[in-house]
Structure 1
Amino acid sequence: MARLLILTPQLPFPPHQGTTIRNFNLIAGLAPRHDIDLLSLMQPTDLAPAQTPLPALCRQVIALPAPPPRPAWRRLLTTISTPLPDMALRLAGVRAFQDTLLNLVQTTPYAVLQVEGIEMAPYVTWLQRQPAWASARQAGHLRLVFDDHNAETILQQRTALADLRHPARWAGAAYSLVQWRKLAAYEAALCRLADRVVAVSPADADALRRLWPDIAVTVVPNGVDLQTFAPDCCAPAPEMTAPALVFSGKMDYRPNVDAVLWFADEILPRVRAHEPAAHFWIVGQQPHPRLARLADRPDITLTGRVPDVRPFLVGATVCVLPFRMGSGTRLKVLEALALGRAVVSTTLGAEGFGLRDGHELRLADSAAAFAQVVVALLADAAQRARLGAQAHAFATANYGWERIVPRLEAVYAP
């Protein structure tokens, strides 16, 4: 049993989007065999820790207010004036968090300080300048583990290259080009600082090695709660009618916004030329203003936040993952697979899981090919059932959290 201090950018409950899903399930899996102290930032709308399962899993849970979002003018100024990437500034500078972190390291003999995501890295770079950090390191009982949820440099590179193809998005491309260069230096520095680095996919691990070839990087993939996302978990959402094409995710996240706009503008019309009743469901919180123009389309529903995404996934005739940018691995892939749904994805959308076209899902990378595959699946219930059964078997055999947490525990070994 090891004593762990875990830093998270938001309280990891409820597990409703990528970061919180990963963090909550790792903590839940580690808790039976380790003493965990959780130090987290939280938003005003978050549940109080006492209203969550976290106190039952952790020795102590300390949640402190996150800084308010920085205004656009300040982000523009720092883009020009500082070598630090935007992600290193987003949650930085909470004095109470720094003081609490320093006190915990000074008073508790942790075996591991685990940093969940690059947004928490500024607190570690600050801590390393404190004498308490040097003392703990010299005593040999504190190892730094950096869990890099996305290879952020690659994410910005792909985003910049995708946006450059569209003149209307050149401002976003310029931002991503700048961030790409800054992140390359910053992410490499974090990898040098950490004793162990965790990546969520082999592709991300290779990308990090290109930044710093000597890092010790281990792949600990994302997983899925197989009981929560069982095929018989719930009934379909009653408002849905077939054929339903479903995308789920946090809808202010840039790769998700790009994915649904591409599907709505270039793929869905091709599908409806063959299946006029096909309806596109965009299921997720905080729809970005760029999606507002879709709200009036009769063939599209934007749900906004829903209490439970599962009825919409269960009600999907086909789940679609039309990603053209991003990095890491997408938990929405695993959720759809575990539920036994027929899935169509781009190659990038399915990256990192070892999925095979025609076995666990279908892959297509152009609008015409994507539409063609979707139309074929809508017309073939037997093929949908076969893909769904193989998808569920694959998720069950490889991606339950009980299989993944031991891979993280192995990282803690001296």
Structure 2
Amino acid sequence: LIKKIFDIFYHSKPILSVRRAAAKRIDRRLAPLQAQQVSLFNQLSTDLDKFHKQLDERIVRAIEIGQFSDWRLKVIGERQESVAHINCVNSLSQDFERVMDLIFADEANYQPANNSLILIDLVRAYMYEGGIWQLRQEINDFLTNITYERPGPQPPRPRADRPLKILVISGLFPSIEHGGGLRLFDILRGLAVDHDIDLYTVYEADTDNHSLNMLKEHLRDIRLIKNEQIVDLAASRDDIGKWLRDIGKDKRYYDVIQLEYPHTIYLTNFMKRYGKKVGFTFMECQTKSNVIKIQEMTGNNDLSGMPRFSTALWKYAVAEKFVLQNADFLIAVTQEDADFLQRLYPRRVNIIPTCLSQTEIIDKAQESNTKAEAGRVAFLGYFGHYPNIDSMKWYLSRIHPIIKSQVPSYEFLIIGAGDTTPLQELAAHDKSVKFTGRVDNVMPYIQSASVCILPLITGAGIRGKLNQYSIAGRPSVSTTIGNKGLDYQPGISAVIADKAPDFAQAVIMLLNDEAKRKTIAAQALIHAKDNYTWDNHLKKLTEIYRDLPS
């Protein structure tokens, strides 16, 4: 049986379709062999591990001596290799080439094929994350006796006047302490006005208890779990099923099931037995985020993080393509992410941006009357999110010294929760840099600054800081990445600069020009209020749930 499986595996066309074909054959042939299922699948996994290790070594040798063209991979010493190995490498090469061209198609000046070290990491990561990792996922599905239900006839649309029954499953708690959590917090509270909402979510008592107390009165049933439970797919399926049976909400009870954060992606098909529609929100397109990070590292000739980020690139490319293919509806936070996702798999991706929280941002901005301090610059961020760490390292090392040398009253305030240890080490002996840590209300701190900054250089997805700065009545200096999808007009409602000297001079200009600060702040406030309040966007979200034309 194993020999036949490998014969199929070697000689079929693209490698991913081979795995699907092999999985179907395995399902048919091993179904009667219940006593042998575990041992046979474990042996298959072990054999494929060995095969990938051998294949990895051969491909790395081929790359090291320069035997490749564009994205195509070749086997060296073909006379000594079996036909099966050659065919497998050729099919792998075709699939690898197709995906690389897809992801980097719009990067005309980006040529990682010219650097063998980069290709080595990308190929190795592709084989393990796009190959053996996916196969293990299929094995786990089989061994845990999960049989996905095929969608039946399209269920009737819920009447427009009937409250929807909605289940939200989240890989992070909807906490007001960080941007993604606050976004979901606002959505849950807004939807709960007219609909019945249940929540299944990861929860950490130390950090999430305050937000839970604010949220629980608006929801029906809540199930709180530990992070390791959502990571373990089999355990999360068992726990969700038991919880829904206990509360009497199994058997397609829900009109809509909404999945949030990458840990929930592989629940997509499983949850179709409990809801009429299952959708996923891309808080951040992780595939694109890792592409940006790899491009940044290669541009700086810094390959130290290549193994980690190339592995993450393929892991998320496989996962995000899976949910693109299987979810009933899809939501992105920005147009940029939606466009990229549609290149991975062509289908409709709706856009619901991150808007301004009425209770946590708009109301608090109106209540606060903190005056700006001359020379103070502020940054707001959650420092459990690596793009914020990256942006602050760039700012502190390359921009901060320029401003400090030209503005005697300059002071830099870093606002937000999370681990700021690497930043504090950078500013260890600099009294002009201050850290607030977690604060109950960020508005007085934002409004205490004359200028706010958003020096993002990596990442995708949620970028709500410009909106928060604007509603606080403060002008901003941002990179292009920080303004992606928000459409603040350069020089009118925000100042945009991408090079360190230009960014520094933009901050200095605003610190020294009060009239310019007021003009930009006024235009930014108008832009934020006109485009980023939740009322209209919650209406659009409800239309997506009901499948009404928007």
Q: Same fold (TM over 0.5)?
A: yes
1:39 to 191, 200, 205: 200
Q: Is the 8 A contact 2:282 2:333 kept in 1?
A: yes
2:250 to 80, 97, 106: 106
More helix by share: 2
Q: Distance in 2 between matches of 1:244 and 1:46?
A: 29
**Kindly tell me: are residues 40 and 116 of structure 1, through their superposed partners in 2, closer, same or farther at Cα, counting changes over 3 Å?**
same
Q: Report the CA distance between 1:227 and its aligned residue.
A: 5.6
Q: Report the CA distance between 1:38 and its aligned residue.
A: 1.0
SS at match of 1:198: strand
Q: Report the more deviating stretch, 223-232 or 328-337.
A: 223-232
Q: Distance in 1 between matches of 2:361 and 2:417?
A: 19
2:234 maps to 1:234: no
Q: Is the 8 A contact 1:377 1:384 kept in 2?
A: yes
Amino acid at match of 1:336: Y
Q: Report the CA distance between 1:332 and its aligned residue.
A: 1.6
2:500 maps to 1:367: yes
2:383 to 245, 251, 255: 251
Q: Report the CA distance between 1:269 and its aligned residue.
A: 1.3
2:475 maps to 1:317: no
1:305 to 421, 432, 438: 438
SS at match of 1:327: coil
Q: Report the CA distance between 1:387 and its aligned residue.
A: 0.9
1:277 to 409, 433, 440: 409
Counterpart residue number, 1:408 = 541
**Kindly tell me: are residues 250 and 100 of structure 1, through their superposed partners in 2, closer, same or farther at Cα, counting changes over 3 Å?**
farther
Q: Distance in 2 between matches of 1:90 and 1:44?
A: 20
Counterpart residue number, 1:336 = 469
Amino acid at match of 1:292: Q
Amino acid at match of 1:155: S
SS at match of 2:228: coil
**Kindly tell me: are residues 51 and 271 of structure 1, through their superposed partners in 2, closer, same or farther at Cα, counting changes over 3 Å?**
closer
2:336 maps to 1:175: no
Counterpart residue number, 1:194 = 327
1:216 to 329, 348, 361: 348
1:399 to 522, 532, 538: 532
**Kindly tell me: are residues 286 and 51 of structure 1, through their superposed partners in 2, closer, same or farther at Cα, counting changes over 3 Å?**
closer
Amino acid at match of 2:308: Y
Q: Distance in 2 between matches of 1:47 and 1:260?
A: 25
The count of aligned residue pairs is 380
Q: Is the 8 A contact 1:347 1:365 kept in 2?
A: yes
More strand by share: 1
Q: Is the 8 A contact 2:177 2:417 kept in 1?
A: no
**Kindly tell me: are residues 96 and 241 of structure 1, through their superposed partners in 2, closer, same or farther at Cα, counting changes over 3 Å?**
farther
Q: Distance in 1 between matches of 2:167 and 2:370?
A: 40
Q: Report the more deviating stretch, 193-202 or 219-228.
A: 219-228
**Kindly tell me: are residues 336 and 226 of structure 1, through their superposed partners in 2, closer, same or farther at Cα, counting changes over 3 Å?**
farther
Counterpart residue number, 1:77 = none
1:56 to 201, 204, 217: 217
Q: Report the more deviating stretch, 55-64 or 217-226.
A: 55-64
Q: Distance in 2 between matches of 1:93 and 1:371?
A: 50
1:12 to 161, 166, 174: 174
**Kindly tell me: are residues 382 and 241 of structure 1, through their superposed partners in 2, closer, same or farther at Cα, counting changes over 3 Å?**
closer
Q: Report the CA distance between 1:107 and its aligned residue.
A: 4.9
SS at match of 1:150: coil
Q: Report the more deviating stretch, 158-167 or 22-31.
A: 158-167
Amino acid at match of 2:265: A
What's the CA shift string for 1:268-293, capped at 9, x where partnerless? 11112221221111111123432231
Calculate the TM-score normalised by the size of structure 2. Answer: 0.65
Amino acid at match of 1:11: F
SS at match of 2:434: strand
Counterpart residue number, 2:227 = 66
Amino acid at match of 2:491: G
**Kindly tell me: are residues 156 and 51 of structure 1, through their superposed partners in 2, closer, same or farther at Cα, counting changes over 3 Å?**
closer
Q: Distance in 1 between matches of 2:182 and 2:455?
A: 21
Counterpart residue number, 2:287 = 153
Using CA pairs below 8 Å that are at least 6 residues apart, which structure has the higher relative contact order?
Answer: 1
**Kindly tell me: are residues 123 and 49 of structure 1, through their superposed partners in 2, closer, same or farther at Cα, counting changes over 3 Å?**
farther
Counterpart residue number, 2:62 = none
**Kindly tell me: are residues 393 and 226 of structure 1, through their superposed partners in 2, closer, same or farther at Cα, counting changes over 3 Å?**
farther
1:120 to 264, 282, 289: 264
SS at match of 2:206: coil
In structure 1, list runs of 5 or more residues that go unmatched: 69-87
Q: Distance in 2 between matches of 1:55 and 1:225?
A: 17
Q: Is the 8 A contact 1:66 1:91 kept in 2?
A: no
Q: Report the CA distance between 1:50 and its aligned residue.
A: 9.8
SS at match of 2:391: helix
Counterpart residue number, 1:29 = 190
**Kindly tell me: are residues 299 and 46 of structure 1, through their superposed partners in 2, closer, same or farther at Cα, counting changes over 3 Å?**
closer
Query: Cα RMSD over matched residues?
Result: 2.4
Q: Report the CA distance between 1:101 and its aligned residue.
A: 5.7
Q: Report the more deviating stretch, 309-318 or 116-125.
A: 116-125
Q: Report the CA distance between 1:113 and its aligned residue.
A: 0.5
